[in-house]
Amino acid sequence: MIKAIIAYDGSNYAGWQKQTNALGIQEVFERALQKIHGEFCEVVASGRTDAKVHARGQVIHFQERPDIHPTQYKRALNGLLPLDIRVQSCVLVDHDFHARFSATGKRYDYICTLNKDDPFSFRYKTVLMQPVDLEKMKKGALLLKGTHDFTSYSSCKIDPRKPRTKTIHSIEIQEKDGDIRFSFVGTGFLRYQVRMMVGTLLALGQSKIEVEDVQKILDRKDKHACRFNAPPQGLYLMEVYYG
């Protein structure tokens, strides 16, 4: 089994997952792998990323061909893939490894900027129209740390069979050179959870809500409780943890 770490610019794609009416990164990757293997080979990721969401540390696995060395896979794939999808590493792992089910945690970063005049911001950051109060956002973030039912901070399309309880180990919020970076580390995240938490914290930082409202939304455990959802282009899957 090959475990690969890949990075991609999600701007031109409808997310990771293959789709019938749009182009997903998985489809592009499997086409490249098929050229190497001479036949279709399924690629499994640690989880889906949505349209326009980026990754620096997405993890995938696929069945290897015995005559191809892992380092050859990296070179061959990067020669076939478009320049906005890059393989960072390929290693041979045990066949019981699973990119999704073996994962024990993930880190997502979300980047905002106050620089409205940077033409490169709009594809890779969320441009804020007004300043935010970092200290208020940090107080709100403390309420989201720990183990909670995050139904209120998730997509209304979430599969009802999936557990809604997740553990967030840390939330960091830092400002540097006009950029504000949120960093979330947890056992896993529901669909839209990070974007909805960021949207709520930004609303808090812009005094649209109060600190106690963050807790009230969480406590409701209602998929309609949160009306905030930050745009996708500021979100990055940074790292997936195993073991």
Annotated binding residues for substrate: 108
Annotated binding site: 108
Q: Which of 60, 115, 81 is nearest to 12 (CA)?
A: 81
The DSSP string of 122-141 is HHHSEEPSS---HHHHHHHH
Tokens of 125: 């950051």
Number of helices and strands in the chain (H, E): 6, 10
From the candidates 50, 118, 149, 179, give the one annotated as an active-site residue.
Answer: 50
Pairing mode, strands 165-176 and 146-149: antiparallel
Report how far residue 27's alpha carbon sits from residue 40's, in angstroms, rounded to the nearest whole number: 11
Q: Could you tell me how far CA 97 lies from the centroid of its own chain?
A: 21
Half-sphere exposure of 241 (CA within 13 A, CB side): 12
- Other C-beta atoms lying within 10 Å of the C-beta of residue 115: 13
- Other C-beta atoms lying within 10 Å of the C-beta of residue 129: 7
Whether the CB-CB separation of 142 and 181 falls below 8 Å is answered with: no
Q: Which of 76, 78, 80, 13 is nearest to 48 (CA)?
A: 13
* Residue 96 annotated to the active site: no
Interior angle at CA 211, CA 124 and CA 140, nearest 5 = 45
Beta bridge partners of 16: none
State the catalytic residues: 50
